């Protein structure tokens, strides 16, 4: 078990596109374990590889602790692709472990379909809606180098700027490790 520091706004890796996974080997499984450990330590419900410094196209989701989602098993998405997005959208307030303490209302598709590999190399396709779709879209964004401020209008983006600057300078107090 390893809890790794979470990368935060300003860290270049958060702006990089993830590299497709070529083989699901022990090394990758170790990294996935570290992703779960680091995410849970920070009380997150989703984490993308670049949030702990990895370049692979992988994210994990764990909604088990969320009311109404107790039956959702923790999931690993390898080389994910969003293959359908509904025209209907929903506005939900989001946070991000890489943007500590920041909250913003973000409009995203309400329903999606995603294709990915699981850790047993099965190609899967599932539909998701509501919070589940939301977490998937948020984590998928990390894998293409996008963050919450890229998904809000100019006005909100401006309002977030002072907070983003503080995060960049590490002028924040949080109870999980972040990069220096
Ligand atoms: Zn995030």
Structure confidence by residue, pLDDT tens digits, 46-73: 999 999 999 999 999 999 999 999 999 9
The confidence score (pLDDT) of residue 143 equals: 98
Name the average pLDDT for the chain. 97
Q: What is the DSSP letter of 137?
A: H
Q: Which residues pair with 178 in a beta bridge?
A: 6
pLDDT tens for each residue of 26-52: 999 999 999 999 999 999 999 999 999
Distance in angstroms between the alpha carbons of the first and the last residue of the chain: 21
Q: Is the whole-model pTM more than 0.95?
A: yes
For residue 125, give both structure tokens: 């396709």
> pLDDT exceeding 90 applies to what percent of the chain?
99
Q: How far is the CA of 141 from the centre of ligand 1 (A)?
A: 8
Return phi, psi of residue 49, to 5°. -55, -45
Measured in Å, residue 123 CA sits from the centre of ligand 1 at: 25
In degrees and rounded to multiples of 5, residue 161 shows phi and psi of -50, -50
Confidence of residue 4 (pLDDT cuts 50, 70, 90): very high
**What is the per-residue pLDDT across 115-124, written as a single tens digit (0 to 9) for each?**
999 999 999 9
The pLDDT, as a whole number, for residue 55 is 98
Do 81 and 114 form a contact (C-beta atoms < 8 A)?
A: yes
Query: Could you give the domains of the chain?
Result: 12-168 (3.90.45.10)
Ligand 1 centre from 88 Cα, in Å? 22
51 C-alpha to ligand 1 centroid (Å): 8
Share of the chain above pLDDT 70, in %: 100
- On whether the CB atoms of residues 35 and 47 are closer than 8 A, the answer is yes
pLDDT at 1: 76
**Is 64 a known active-site residue?**
no
- Which of the 8 DSSP states describes residue 178? B
Catalytic residue among 88, 139, 165, 180: 139
pLDDT at 83 (0 to 100): 98
The pLDDT tens digits of the residues spanning 78-106 come to: 999 999 999 999 999 999 999 999 999 99
């Amino acid at each position: 078990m390893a809890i790794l520091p979470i990368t935060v706004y300003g860290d270049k890796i958060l702006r990089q596109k993830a590299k497709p996974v070529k083989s699901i080997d022990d090394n990758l499984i170790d990294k996935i374990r570290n992703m779960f450990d680091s995410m849970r330590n920070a009380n997150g419900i989703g984490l993308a590889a670049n949030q702990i410094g990895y370049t692979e196209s992988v994210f994990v989701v764990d909604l088990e602790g969320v009311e109404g989602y107790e039956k959702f098993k923790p999931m690993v998405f390898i080389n994910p692709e969003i293959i359908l997005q509904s025209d209907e959208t929903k506005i939900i307030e989001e946070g991000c472990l890489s943007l500590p303490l920041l909250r913003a209302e973000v409009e995203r598709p309400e329903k999606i379909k995603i294709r990915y590999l699981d850790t047993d190399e099965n190609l899967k396709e599932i539909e998701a809606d509501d919070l589940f779709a939301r977490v998937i879209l948020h984590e998928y964004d990390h894998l293409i180098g996008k963050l919450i401020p890229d998904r809000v209008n100019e006005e909100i983006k401006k309002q977030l700027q002072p907070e983003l600057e503080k995060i960049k300078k590490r002028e924040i107090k949080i109870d999980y490790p972040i990069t220096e």
